Amino acid sequence: MRVRRSILAMTAAGVLLLVSACGEAGSSDGDAQPAATQDATEEPMATASALAACEPVAGDALVVLDDDQGLQTVDNIVPAVNAAAIADDAALLPLLDELSATLDTATLISLNKAVDVDRQTSSQVAAAYLESSGLGVQDQVGNGTRVVVGAGNFSESATLAELYAGVLRAAGYDATTQTIGNRETYLPALESGDLTVVPEYVGTLTEFLNKTANGADAATVASSDLVATTTALTGLGEAAGLVFGTPAAAQDQNAFAVTQAFADEHDVSTLTELAETCGGIVLGGPPECPERPFCQPGLEEVYGLDVADFTSLDAGGPLTKAALQQGQIAVGLVFSSDAALAG
């Protein structure tokens, strides 16, 4: 999602999941919701096919429609920490939790924009954020303890790693960052203690550990329920020698976007409203979208959205965003923390 964590990492592992960006970051099982019942004397309920087609509307600004029925799996940012490395260090995890408490998705989008659009470095962006949020000054509890913060090979992970390292340095830790490629590379380093902490994603990591421990055909345990998914992650992490902080509100998950002009014209802000308002939708996304339950089938079965046509593009990348902005598609699969959503 750039080389993204969810597409390449999970594909390389051979465990392409429902929690992936059309390959990893997430979905629920995509089963259809129960049909509404009505009295036989009432007027027939409107169906998607009876609705007028909503043509794409070009515009530069993009907006994500709220997944109000929980089609996607949660993917909140969470510190993943080597359990042995902090067994005798009660101060490290609370510092990371204090940082996580300040991060919501809008903030993450802003941080990504500063790096991906404004071309600042991740370290510059992290330093400015810690200063502005008051986290750059901490009680000196680290006593010079060496901490290595790992990062995946994409800019969002690098920025989060710099935030983790920065708040720990402010508290007196000897904290450095190290980029170590994809999850198949950095997770063993975290489990062995070569890395101390890595910024992770709740749903994605839950399913990665689940499939690693229980096989590629293991039943999915991540869902749209953050509490239940975090509970599953905690148990799986314990077996792998990992502990986790409190998940941030910030998420980087699959999402469906329209142009702001489209949302304004049709007065829609949720996927339910879209399905109740518009028929004949042109959907864009990665080639596998028509087959993935968190993509086109989920939109049709969970929301009852009338997808008239599908345009094969990419997974939340420049092709999809350009097609939205140019009015070639009405709805496109993006990632919820994408810098393009900053407006």
pLDDT digits (tens, 9 = 90+) for 147-170: 999 999 999 999 999 999 999 999
Q: What's the CA gap between 65 and 52, in Å, rounded? A: 19
Q: Does domain 77-244 have CATH number 3.30.1370.100?
A: no
pLDDT value for 40: 36
Q: What's the CA gap between 212 and 183, in Å, rounded? A: 12
**pLDDT greater than 80 at residue 243:** yes
| Tens of pLDDT, residues 267-277 | 999 999 999 99
**pLDDT greater than 90 at residue 229:** yes
For residues 31 and 317, the model is more confident at: 317
pLDDT value for 117: 96
Q: Which of 3, 115, 100 is nearest to 342 (CA)?
A: 115
The pTM of the full predicted model, rounded to 2 decimals, is: 0.86
For residues 32 and 67, the model is more confident at: 67
**Do residues 157 and 177 make contact, with C-beta atoms less than 8 angstroms apart?**
no
> What is the band of 88 on the pLDDT scale with cuts at 50, 70, 90?
confident
**pLDDT greater than 70 at residue 19:** no
124 token code pair: 């510059």
> What is the band of 284 on the pLDDT scale with cuts at 50, 70, 90?
very high
Average pLDDT over residues 283-306: 97
**pLDDT greater than 60 at residue 21:** no
Which single residue is written with the structure tokens 């913060």? 149
Query: Within a 10 A sphere around the Cβ of 91, how many other Cβ atoms?
Result: 18
Q: Which of 36, 33, 47, 1 is nearest to 20 (CA)?
A: 1
178 class by beta-carbon count within 10 Å (0-12 exposed, 13-18 middle, 19+ buried): middle
In one-letter notation, the amino acid at residue 269 is S
| Tens of pLDDT, residues 208-226 | 999 999 999 999 999 999 9
Average pLDDT over residues 195-206: 98
Instruction: Please state which of the four CATH numbers 3.40.190.120, 3.90.1150.10, 3.40.720.10, 3.40.47.10 is assigned to the domain occupying 28-70+253-342.
Output: 3.40.190.120
Q: What's the CA gap between 142 and 91, in Å, rounded? A: 7
Q: State phi, psi for 206 to the nearest 5 degrees.
A: -55, -50
Domain boundaries along the sequence of the chain: 28-70+253-342, 77-244
| Segments of the chain assigned E as strands | 62-65, 77-82, 146-151, 174-179, 197-201, 242-244, 254-259, 281-285, 307-312, 331-335
**pLDDT greater than 70 at residue 31:** no
Task: Report the percentage of the chain scoring pLDDT > 70.
Answer: 86
Q: Across all residues in the chain, what is the average pLDDT?
A: 88
Sorted by sequence, the CB contacts under 8 Å of residue 327 that are 6+ apart come out as 56, 57, 58, 59, 259
